[in-house]
Amino acid sequence: MQFKKTALSWGIALATPLILAACGGDNNKTPASQASAEKNFNRIAVYPVCMQADATCNTDDATAAEIVAASTDGMTLVYTDSPKEQLGFVDITNPAAPTGLGVLPLVGEPTSVAIKGGYALVGVNTSSDYVSVSGLLVVVDIATRSIVHSIDVGGQPDSVAVSPDGSYAAVVIENERDEDLNDGALPQMPAGKLVVVNLSGAPADWTSSAVGLTGLADLYPTDPEPEFVDINADNIALVSMQENNHIVLVDLTDGSIVKSFSAGTVDLTGIDANEDDVINQSESLSGVLREPDGVSWLSTEYFVTANEGDLDGGSRSFSVFNTAGEVVFEAGNSLDQLTARIGHYPESRSENKGNEPENAEYGVFGEDRLLFVNSERASVVFVYDVADFTKPVLKQVLPAGVGPEGALAIPARNLLIAASEEDDRGAVIRSGLNIYQYGIAPASYPTIVSNDRDDGSPIPWSALSGLSADPSDGTLVYAVDDSYYKKNRIFTLDVSQQPAVITTETHIIDSNGVLANLPLGTLPAATVNDDKTVNIDPEGIVKLADGDFWIASEGKGNQIDGPVASRNVLINTDADGLIQKAVTLPAAVNLLQRNNGFEGVAEYEGKLYVAFQRAWQNEDAVRIGIYDIAAESWSFLYYELDAPESQNGGWVGLSEITALGNGEFVVIERDNQGGPDAAIKRLYKFDTTGLADGATVTKTLVRDVLPDMKATGGLVTEKIEGLALLANGDLLMVNDNDGVDDSNGETQLMNLGKLF
């Protein structure tokens, strides 16, 4: 089936920015051509920087790409690797197939990099502690990947920029605070500053001078902590002082302060301010300090701040200022709400700074003036059309690796680079350089968006762990969220549109006391909330022809190793989510319980077929439970899993089951690995016809979906957990994004076509 585009662009529908002022005339606008209206960014590759150490990333060592720059011809990426204290180089002559060129060891921690001709200028922190600060601006020949010169900058550098005309470099010396000293309270000496480097002549001839920043900010004036710098065409440096909630403009030609002003505050409504395992964007915060991190000039008159926050604030937004210090645009709650709409909202950061906009970048692609904002915690890049600098209009949202820090536009090659810095092999996270290409093509992401609730906020969703096609409407499928969230829900998706649209949410309700009256120890005491919503672990869902749902809730805990926190339960609800019945396993089977229980449920001829994830105690094969609804009886088949094939070991299990008819079923068999370590992501089918209780099924490979997952241009996600067979024969597959916790939040709903 070909998804048809919705007539209403989801981007336009979602972009409801708060415009504080609409300054500027026609000189601030660029007409968009008809061709440009069809252009989008799509991810074409990710280069995991662990490949610099091992060709297949078979290493546990932490490495990172934090800040990224490009050679003047746009063919070589240069990135800072703080954990390894090195500078990395990547060839992107073919951007769809980036190739590592090696690394250059440094004498300290690289924090930033910028380009001057054939040289990379690298800020390197050589401080021994927070008081005895020191640092260098290291000059590297890109062609030979060798150090040719170093300049002592007299402190801990945090950001480096080179002026558009190549005359100056500006180096922010943060001299960051010790967050363990007095709970990180300021002031903490020594104070930060700005170092200006005159780039005339050869590197050995370059000279530097310091610009003091003390006494400028209202907050902690004796301890300026500059964070980021960008330079415009007039050689004016824009400096953010994050903890001071301040912005400074410096004329690099003479080191004078042109303007200095507070970044101000934002009143936020329609946000989630509590970490309670429920996304509820109906709360508010007043007077939130912006505390900008990354900044970028849009012109010589306007600039943008990414308001990540740190010490006392963080407004979850980005803002556009003019050089008089006036806010002409404020994104307000729109980024938080947008991430909730596309399944990327980080609920675990609700009491902190929400999605945390980290950095901003600006580029002119043909006639299109575009702004890019990296969200550190939602792991996305927001793309805005800024034909009018005072009225950014949402264009796209791009998926990135975990923690996108650096952003780099390369308009001459129609490329955008985002450097995702988080790296933890054990958590299935690898740092990488995300590469996006701008061209005439439909946007491939997001694959799912949601409608609004009655209060105007988006239906929040994430952690989808099961799919089921509607038995009578070929355009609808149903999904559930797993135990990452409380107050579990059933989602209705319209898959006739692209992206698919979550049209409604249905809470699972225990008003009849079905779960509340289960035997003690079956489910935790806190399963049923005061409003009768429930906190279970839905891992599978199937909708029956009569309109009822059956949900497979996975248990937790091992019977032998103990303790058992909850049992595996099949839960029957009506079409409105009201629980009608709950079914547990036979007592003898419960005695074999281990953590990896119910992972999917399907229905065929009045029987429910339940996929267990892994073999239970003292069993060699995984169970397929069969529950006869009318007879209220259980029987079991067995399924033999493939042996692990990942270079990182791990385990293999089932994560979904879907009925094909005629006694046949398809299952997802996958390993618990992602990225370069992923090896098994497969669909198998088996026939249950004529099999007796206790028999082992014979499986047949339907499709290795690892190539499909790689075709998204990103790193392979760990958990594919949902399948739905549509009436026209198309098979849909979706992954579980783990609630954006230790995950990049990416959800890929794929149409695999007609496989049966």
CATH topology of domain 461-754: Tachylectin-2; Chain A (2.115.10)
Give the closest residue to 690 by CA, choosing from 637, 750, 747, 613.
637
135-170: pLDDT as tens digits? 999 999 999 999 999 999 999 999 999 999 999 999
Sequence letter at residue 638? Y
Per-residue model confidence (pLDDT) at position 6: 38
Sequence letter at residue 547? G
Sequence letter at residue 447? T
Task: Report the alpha-carbon distance of residue 410 to residue 393 in Å, rounded.
Answer: 21
374 within 8 A of 294, measured Cβ to Cβ: yes
Per-residue model confidence (pLDDT) at position 37: 55
**Domain limits, the chain:** 461-754
User: 628: which strand partners?
Assistant: 607, 633
Q: CA-CA-CA-CA torsion for 317, 323, 325, 331, nearest 10 degrees?
A: -20
Peptide bond into 460 cis (omega under 30): no
Q: Determine if residue 336 is left, alpha or beta; phi over 0 gives left, psi from -120 to 50 gives alpha, anything else beta.
A: alpha
pTM to 2 decimals?
0.95
Instruction: Report in angstroms the alpha-carbon separations of 126 from 171, 178, 209, 292.
Output: 15, 16, 19, 25
The DSSP 8-state label assigned to residue 650 in this structure reads: -
Spans of the chain, pLDDT less than 70: 1-37
Task: Report the alpha-carbon distance of residue 233 to residue 390 in Å, rounded.
Answer: 19
